[in-house]
Amino acid sequence: MPRLALSSGSRGTELKERAPRDAGAARAAGAATSGVPAALRAIGVRPSRRLGQNFLIDPRVAERIVALVEDPREAVIEIGPGLGALTTLLAATGRELTAVELDLRLAEALETRLAVWPAARVVRGDILEQRAEDLASGPATVVANLPYSITTPALEWIVTQGGRVKRAVLMVQREYAQRLSAKPGGKEHGSITVFLQLHAEVRVLFRVSPGAFHPRPEVDSVVLEVVPRPYPGTTAEERASVERLARAGMGTRRKTLANALGRALGMEGAVVRAWLGAAGVDPERRGETLTVDEWIALARVAPRRMTT
Ligand code: SAM
């Protein structure tokens, strides 16, 4: 049965009918994922490693990602739309959509393609220099096949937009995703693991093989859902302290926590040991074995000058 979808354009907000998996939208996705090498040649783009340009060529993967953002009333910010594999599907619902693209040749080509959907626009530039509140009229969902080169700063950007990003659906390299959910003690556990746990809930949704992209990457990817939220029971000041301490305590892998913190923070060994003792943390442990709750305990009893 067809559903009613809100479509807001320059002619005002109107109601139009949309089938669950709109045939026009599917065609649009097909157009943006097929013939990618030829489309790139036509606009003079050679895929750039620096810009993390691995374009999606499998329309089923594009559809699966966009199906996770079903409600057309949800405003979307897309990071790095490229040739528009996800963008055209998202725009075809008539939703508010802002796609931020750094490569000006891709941005220009996409602008032409999006002209038929008045609620969709392209912003030329670096996502890391934008503010979500300037990109969407209210809290928005971020969608991206993320350029590998900016995965960490993009995640930091997503969780620091003051509530203007309510959710993100992101394609990232599988190994990177494993770091995000790594348990303390493993070699993949690091300060980004702690950072993201402090600021968001993260869920791996599904895996995507290298064959879904052009050029083909060497590794698998996964699609993640990231929902920004502060770690329960913590203040903004405590979270900021934990970030600093975790970076200092995990900067030098093989060192004990007491040595790593003492060195990074310029503290006497005896003072560090007394501090760790007060938090109930063994000074001989390595930083990457601490849970988020233990970092929080450390931050709460830290000498003030160490956390600011
Ligand atoms: N979304 C397209 C797709 O799935 O086929 C392209 C994804 S490709 C992995 C990453 C895209 O992000 C490229 O179009 C690249 O030019 C763009 N990009 C790279 N760095 C960016 C940045 N800092 N801000 C915005 N876009 C960026």
pLDDT digits (tens, 9 = 90+) for 206-258: 999 999 999 999 999 999 999 999 999 999 999 999 999 999 998 776 789 99
- Tell me if residue 173 falls in helix, strand or coil: strand
The token duo for 62 is 């594009």
- Nearest C-alpha neighbor of 84 from the set 29, 135, 144: 29
DSSP annotation of 287: G
- Nearest C-alpha neighbor of 189 from the set 260, 264, 291: 291
DSSP annotation of 67: G
pLDDT digits (tens, 9 = 90+) for 7-48: 223 323 223 333 334 555 555 555 677 799 999 999 999 999
Q: Is the pLDDT of residue 123 over 60?
A: yes
Question: What number does the ligand 1 atom closest to the CA of 51 have?
Answer: 19
The token duo for 276 is 């760790």
298-303 mean pLDDT: 90
| Span from the CA of 118 to the centroid of ligand 1 (angstroms) | 22
Which of 58, 87, 145, 149 to probe ligand 1 with, by most ligand atoms within 8 A of CB? 145
pTM: 0.88
Who wins on pLDDT, 205 or 31? 205
- Nearest C-alpha neighbor of 258 from the set 288, 227, 292, 285: 285
Q: Residues for the chain: how many in total?
A: 308
Exposed/middle/buried for residue 272 (C-beta within 10 Å: 0-12, 13-18, 19+):
buried
pLDDT digits (tens, 9 = 90+) for 42-95: 999 999 999 999 999 999 999 999 999 989 999 999 999 999 999 999 999 999
Which of 43, 55, 213 to probe ligand 1 with, by most ligand atoms within 8 A of CB? 55
Is any ligand 1 atom within 6 A of the Cβ of residue 132? no
- Report in angstroms the alpha-carbon separations of 280 from 208, 297, 301: 42, 8, 10
Is any ligand 1 atom within 6 A of the Cβ of residue 55? yes
